[in-house]
Structure 1
Amino acid sequence: MSVNYAAGLSSYPDKGKCGLPEVFDPQDELERKVQELAELVKNSSYTVFHTGAGISTASGIPDFRGPTGVWTMEEKGLNPKFDTTFENARPSKTHMALLQLERVGILKFLVSQNVDGLHVRSGFPRERLSELHGNMFVEECTKCGKQYVRDTVVGTMGLKPTGRLCDVPKTRGLRACRGKLRDTILDWEDSLPDRDLTLAEEASRKADLSITLGTSLQIKPSGNLPVMTKKKGGKLVIVNLQPTKHDKHADLRIHGYVDDVMTRLMSHLQLKIPEWDGLPGGTSVKDEEKPGLTGLPTDASAKDLKIEEEKNGVERIMPLPGAHMKEDGADSPALKEERLHSTKLEPLVKTFSEDPFRDPEHHAHHNGVEGPVQQENGTHWGADCHNSESQAKRARIQPSPS
């Protein structure tokens, strides 16, 4: 649960602006804005999405700075409420809509601050995903860089040893790895994984349309990435109930539940949201070897993916769990007959009248269950970040000046 995630972080005095009032667009205005968003998407050649804790509240995981967020309740001396655990959380409509947008070629890259693992669980391809603050279900070998996606949280935070060892077998005369595994979750002030950050920056610069979902954009450097798109004439769309750090830069601001917005958007694009038909948790690389269960990396459709990975210098080790998993080598019926699944939405009506980000100095870190994965070739994603002082300074999570 995000409550346990928050408790696992070391003490930090300033967690950002918490409990800001939520704004809701009237239904007719919301529909007009989503139509405008759909036109922007149709006219875009390179769309990048940036996600925060707000996309997982429909999955039962509380955010951190919302009216009932973990840190908001903490400031009030109250206990936050939660509906599920990380292990039992199911990808929301938004998670599945993003998967479908990637499948049809609209979404080119996804940048997430979330650590809940729901993007990976939905089946979203990891080569098109930067998890800047980590993944509660991923542990990596400190020796060879191999990663494992588990079906339970790995049990530690702050890039600490998990107590398990790498199982890469002896090959080509080399010894078995047996390196120590560690979690991928950043603590306050930790450096971001260099490869994730680099890919996110490159995608943000290349994008002609950046769309943020469920994040207040209070955190550096992740919160500043969407603005990079504006520097070359691109468009910025912000979907969030609370005001954000970069509202003044947005070409379009939509105040609505992200599931509602994404459902409407998919309708305008004449796309259906696939129903999640995956397992309740992630899978480790060994699951590819189980009889009758094949992942994308082992079937014929992985050839193009492998070629692309070789270009990027990345060796794929992980299977793609969730909706990409198949039991007979063919697409499951749920992928062929995609349909919406319902999520209860409970409206709150509040207003907001002034800029809450005028304070001269503002320190913050994870925005909700936003918290980096490092990669799976011989050098793990964050190796350079931790070995190079200059890169560490560039990549470290820092206060975002107002």
Structure 2
Amino acid sequence: MSRAVELPRWMDVALLPVVNLVIALLVAGVVVWLVGFEPGQVLTLLLKGAFGSRAGFSYTLYYATTFVFTGLAVAVAFHGGLFNIGGEGQAMMGGLGAGLVALAAGPHLPAALTLPLVVLGAALSGMVWGGIPGALQAWRGSHTVITTIMFNFIASALLGYLLVNPLREPGNMSPESRAFADSAHVPGVHEALAWLGIDWPSTPLNLSVLLAAAAVLCTWLVLWKSRGGYALRAVGFAPDAALYAGLQPRWTTLMSMAASGALAGLVGVNEIAGVHGRLLFDFVAGAGFAGIAVCLIGRSHPLGIVLAALLFGALYQGGAEISFEVDGFSRDVVFMLQGLIVLFSGAMAQVAAPWLLRLWRMAGGGRSADTKAGA
């Protein structure tokens, strides 16, 4: 019989993820050393590439913006007792919604009207794509893990068909739409800072980072400061008790998946309207699945998700720096590090918990935490 250790809240939310991260880095360092590289050099270059310059930090924030959206999407569904692994497809549909609005409204409306419509189109498209699996589980009993996986494939096929046929730019052999009008372009941070007289390197980082910050704040307010958020967490924690208390688990399931899809759909604003300026096929590039890891590391809390998104953004940008600076170093090593972080923060998240609890008790901190017997 296994025993799940219940740590004090601050240790579970803050200390345990840090310890798991350190363990993952140590194991990764051993693997890097075994394949013939110097772990200290690799770590130094990773930090330098991610945070050592304004351009590198901007790229880190750009990647983190996308991971914040997908991490929040997984967290909202998780608090509702659901496992949404369809962030990839929901982000694709968000990009499609943003692209269709940009193509239709961009040539005719000013940026002050076009950009809010682009954001709304991305959120609504992702919301619909997330809400359908939610409705299927609520009223038909179809498990969201299965339906969201299948909806990823459907979204990919639909987007591919549209980009190969009706949306493809005439004369262009690549599966992509025509370029958006300037009014549908989310300004880059370097452009916004230039308006203030501040010189900043030109990078993909755009004002969608402010949208991500707003999404973090709104998610926290809704989940912990509103009646709807309380109902969602109550249904996720104890659906039978919530039903007995007069809540409506079916509608809560639908709303949590719809909100989750809307957050994932906002990836389209960052990538399609903020960077590429046209609708592409592979703009998501695995960010939906990375959001699961971001949510796990961040313990499903908005602040933790921000920190985890920065970590993954640093891995993406720092890994690129290492591959340029170290001969023979492959980005596959960075993916290995991501996998180790997911392993120790997800499947093995509780391995260090008994040791932390023992040290906490030896230090005489607080009351002894209880342990609960599990299967």
Alignment TM class, shorter chain as reference: under 0.3
Answer 1 or 2: higher relative contact order, Cα 8 Å, separation at least 6.
2
**Which one has a larger percent helix, Structure 1 or Structure 2?**
2
Superposition TM-score, scaled by structure 1 size: 0.25
**Which one has a larger percent strand, Structure 1 or Structure 2?**
1
